């Protein structure tokens, strides 16, 4: 089997996905009445806020927006899927908290959604505003040292989890958290554990991004739950606030604009000279050679991860001479800005040829292609068929090298 055939196979799943696009979409249900129900319950709960233009305006510059997704009106129960979105000028990205709630009426479901949001999400944020009982958490990476105040004094339990003494589930990963904190002013942790019969969910997010390696610390705990006859759920959030001033020399907008520029260029570049010209212009656009290197390196790697379907861990590996220095993606602030830009680019449904051109610049893609090719060649020699595909592979993280002197990671 030729390398060209392997390349076609790697992108086959993506092609099939695009071919399944429908020409029409169902009209979305008007959820404004349900949003109003949630806003009314939230306004009553928070007490200090004001309802204005579909959101709650709170003191100290915080706003809470409410979005309602799935609505189910069953005979004996009403179901609401609510997204609470907290914004503040100091946040790089909004704090988003999805909540599923139910009740005999939609008013009851709205109240339940608000109670869950308040207990798990708003409470630690409110404590941070009052600087009430913070816990100091030191962190550092690539020679940079930071100290954070952590606020995480509440937990929400639903179903069978309401019985017995509550467990501060953040303690299962408290020793791991310094590995995930970097130079940003705010880090938001969300832990969601659920179980019903044999099905369980373990999800850990930092600033909205799933951290797959942290899930394993909860497996034994959730596995011990008795949920054969009922649904059980526990949820805890925490906010980490960097005590130091944020002296990062670039803004999020600079990263997003740079990543969008690189996506457009890599989609159509056909020569090394064109690539070199892109690198030079990117450095001029960002005004930061280190940042420019991160953008041009991570754009194709993230595109490969998102389109080829292989599993990837939480780590980055900075190659410094003969050493590989490991740290976490959440610590490098540019990484998820770049990922957000790549996701938005894919949402525009770009031509498949452009996506392939970008992915071919990925080291992970080239290594994956070689692994798949070797497996198929070995299978053919043995008279067998190899079923190895990207979804069967796990990559611990992305390795990268920056050639500029005195590289500083932010």
Residues 6 or more apart from 97 whose CB is under 8 A from it? 83, 84, 85, 86, 117, 120, 121, 190, 237
Task: Quote the pLDDT of residue 181.
Answer: 97
Q: Is the pLDDT of residue 196 over 50?
A: yes
For residue 64, name the pLDDT band (cuts at 50, 70, 90): very high
* Phi, then psi, of 237 in degrees rounded to 5: -125, 155
Task: Quote the pLDDT of residue 3.
Answer: 45
Task: Quote the pLDDT of residue 154.
Answer: 84
Q: pLDDT tens digit string along 1-60?
A: 444 434 444 554 444 444 444 443 334 568 899 999 999 999 999 988 899 888 999 988
Cβ burial of 375 (10 Å; 0-12, 13-18, 19+) is middle
Cβ burial of 107 (10 Å; 0-12, 13-18, 19+) is middle
User: Mean of the pLDDT values across residues 342-360?
Assistant: 96
Q: Which domains does the chain have, with CATH numbers?
A: 30-124 (3.30.160), 133-246 (no CATH), 248-400 (no CATH)
Residue in the block written with tokens 């056909």: 270
Residues 6 or more apart from 84 whose CB is under 8 A from it? 64, 65, 66, 96, 97, 98, 99, 117, 121
Least confident range of 3-12, 149-158, 381-390: 3-12
Task: Quote the pLDDT of residue 13.
Answer: 44
Burial code of 202-237, b = ≥16 C-beta within 10 A, e = fewer?
bbbbbbeeebebbbebbeeebeebebeeeebbbbbb
The DSSP result for 97-126, as a single string, is EEEEEEESSHHHHHHHHHHHHIIIIIHHHH
Query: What does the alpha-carbon distance between residue 244 and residue 326 come to, in Å, rounded to a whole number?
Result: 23
For the chain, the first-to-last Cα distance in angstroms comes to 44
Helix (H, G, I), strand (E, B) or coil at 26: coil
Whole-angstrom Cα Rg for the chain:
24
Q: Is the pLDDT of residue 198 over 90?
A: no
pTM of the model: 0.86
Task: Quote the pLDDT of residue 21.
Answer: 43
Return mean pLDDT, the chain: 89
For residue 160, name the pLDDT band (cuts at 50, 70, 90): low
Q: Among residues of the chain, what percentage have pLDDT more than 70?
A: 92
- 389 or 87: whose pLDDT is higher? 87
Q: pLDDT tens digit string along 288-328?
A: 999 999 999 999 999 999 999 888 999 999 998 888 899 99
């Amino acid at each position: 089997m030729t390398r060209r055939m392997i390349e076609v196979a790697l992108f086959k799943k993506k092609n099939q996905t695009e071919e399944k696009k429908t020409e029409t979409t169902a009209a979305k249900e008007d959820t404004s009445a349900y949003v109003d129900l949630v806003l009314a319950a939230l306004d009553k709960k928070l007490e200090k806020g004001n309802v204005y233009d579909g959101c709650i305006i709170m003191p100290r510059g915080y706003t809470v927006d409410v979005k309602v997704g799935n609505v189910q009106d069953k005979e004996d129960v009403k179901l609401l899927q609510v997204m609470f979105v907290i914004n503040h000028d100091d946040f790089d990205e909004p704090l988003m908290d999805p909540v599923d709630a139910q009740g005999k009426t939609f008013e009851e479901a709205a109240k339940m959604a608000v109670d869950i949001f308040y207990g798990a999400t708003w409470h630690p944020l409110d404590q941070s505003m009052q600087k009430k009982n913070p816990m100091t958490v030191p962190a550092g990476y690539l020679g940079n040292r930071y100290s954070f105040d952590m606020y995480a004094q509440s937990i929400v339990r639903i179903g069978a989890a309401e019985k017995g003494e509550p467990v501060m589930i953040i303690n299962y990963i408290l020793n791991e958290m310094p590995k995930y904190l970097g130079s940003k002013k705010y880090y938001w942790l969300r832990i969601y554990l659920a179980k019903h019969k044999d099905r369980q969910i373990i999800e850990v997010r930092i600033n909205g991004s799933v951290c797959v390696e942290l899930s394993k610390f909860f497996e034994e705990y959730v596995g011990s739950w008795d949920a054969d006859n009922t649904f059980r759920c526990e949820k805890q959030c925490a906010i980490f606030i960097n005590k130091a001033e944020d002296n990062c020399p670039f803004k999020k907008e600079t990263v997003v604009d740079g990543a969008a520029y690189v996506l457009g260029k890599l989609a159509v570049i056909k020569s090394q000279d064109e690539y070199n010209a892109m690198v030079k212009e990117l450095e001029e656009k960002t005004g930061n050679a280190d940042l420019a290197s991160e953008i041009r390196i991570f754009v194709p790697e993230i595109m490969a991860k998102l389109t080829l379907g292989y599993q990837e861990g939480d780590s980055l590996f900075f190659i410094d001479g003969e050493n590989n220095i490991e740290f976490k993606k959440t610590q490098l602030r540019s990484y998820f800005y770049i990922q957000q830009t790549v996701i938005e680019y894919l949402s525009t449904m770009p031509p498949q040829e452009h996506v392939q051109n970008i992915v071919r610049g990925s080291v992970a893609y080239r290594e994956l292609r070689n692994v798949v090719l070797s497996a198929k060649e070995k299978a053919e020699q043995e008279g067998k068929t190899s079923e190895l595909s990207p979804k069967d592979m796990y990559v611990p993280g992305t390795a990268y090298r920056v050639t500029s002197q005195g590289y500083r990671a932010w």
